[in-house]
Structure 1
Amino acid sequence: MTKINVLYTSTEGNTQSFVEKLQVVAEKNGDILEARMIGDETEYANETEPYVAVVPTYLTGGTGIGPEVTEIFTSALGDYLSFGRNNQYLKGIIGSGNRNFNVQFNLTALRYADKFNVPMLFAFELRGSIFDAEKAYNLIKPLFGE
């Protein structure tokens, strides 16, 4: 049995829905997926175990690819990942977004992966499907050993 740790933020419930699918897939495979939502009210803590982060894309301004774009609603997670040495335990990023936004799809996750120098592991649209959750699970499980 493998324990998989996930930190995420969810504004409209899409990311939370995907994380719940990930939990179902992990349980089906005999593993435990512990997920914690990070938001504006979350008190900072020092992480002590490896984890992956799941982040939606909410942007404002510009075309989405220039410097004038600003991430909104996800800054609490970004600040938490930056706190203390938390980024040393971050193993990778899973991102979401809406493909209707073209180049902005998954942009927040790509930026987090670059900022924290970790791999961008997987991207899904909106709430994702159980198939997406299975693919993501198969990518993240090896990061947590056997």
Structure 2
Amino acid sequence: MTILYISISGNTRSFAKRLQEYAEQQHTSDSQNPLIQLKEIHENFPLETEQDPFFVFVPTYLEGGNGVDNGDQEILTESMREYLAFGDNFRKCLGVVGSGNKNFNRQYCLTAKQYAAQFDFPFLADYELRGTSADLETIYTILKNSTD
């Protein structure tokens, strides 16, 4: 299974790599459990057409306001949106996982929710900051079940 992600502060990268390690452990105990391939999208990443289905992991960075009624302008993660729009890559996306800081209330994971609405794929799960061990287990199970 492939995960495309964008990481600004390192939290999403950390979670994705820990999730990949968790998948390797699960695969070792039962080869039916899929491994995870990671692909980091960044500002200067070349636009290309994705060949295989994938999941997207995206943090939330918004400019101003409360993120719902006003000020929900996405910043810093636009390269993922551009990548999804390029060549209709979004059609191969199986769903999005969002991360953020719960201190931001209604803005928590808003970028992932906006992607799900814009591109019409499911918002699968969320985790806060770098996530917990329980988040790894839960999200891995959700991803695994979404590929069936």
TM-score for the superposition, normalised by structure 2: 0.92
Tell me how far apart the structure 1 counterparts of residues 147 and 98 of structure 2 sit (CA, whole Å).
19
Instruction: Give matches, 1:4-43, under 5 Å.
Output: 4-30=1-27, 31-43=34-46
Q: How much does 1:67 deviate?
A: 4.4
Instruction: Give matches, 1:60-71, under 5 Å.
Output: 60-71=63-74
Which residue does 2:54 correspond to in 1? 51
Tell me how far apart the structure 2 counterparts of residues 86 and 41 of structure 1 sit (CA, whole Å).
17
Runs of 5+ unmatched residues, structure 2: 28-33
* Pick aligned residue for 1:142 from 134, 142, 145: 145
Which residue does 1:104 correspond to in 2? 107
Percent of residue pairs identical: 39
RMSD: 1.0
The CA deviation string for residues 68-111 of structure 1, in whole angstroms up to 9 with x for no partner, is: 42111110001001100211100000000000000111100100
Tell me how far apart the structure 1 counterparts of residues 82 and 18 of structure 2 sit (CA, whole Å).
26
Tell me how far apart the structure 1 counterparts of residues 69 and 82 of structure 2 sit (CA, whole Å).
22
Which residue does 1:94 correspond to in 2? 97
Alignment-mate amino acid for residue 23 of structure 1? Q
Runs of 5+ unmatched residues, structure 1: none
Tell me how far apart the structure 2 counterparts of residues 52 and 45 of structure 1 sit (CA, whole Å).
16
Tell me how far apart the structure 1 counterparts of residues 18 and 64 of structure 2 sit (CA, whole Å).
32
How many residue pairs get aligned? The number is 142
Tell me how far apart the structure 2 counterparts of residues 75 and 111 of structure 1 sit (CA, whole Å).
12
* Pick aligned residue for 1:80 from 79, 83, 93: 83
Alignment-mate amino acid for residue 143 of structure 1? S
**1:127 counterpart SS class:** coil
Alignment-mate amino acid for residue 42 of structure 2? G
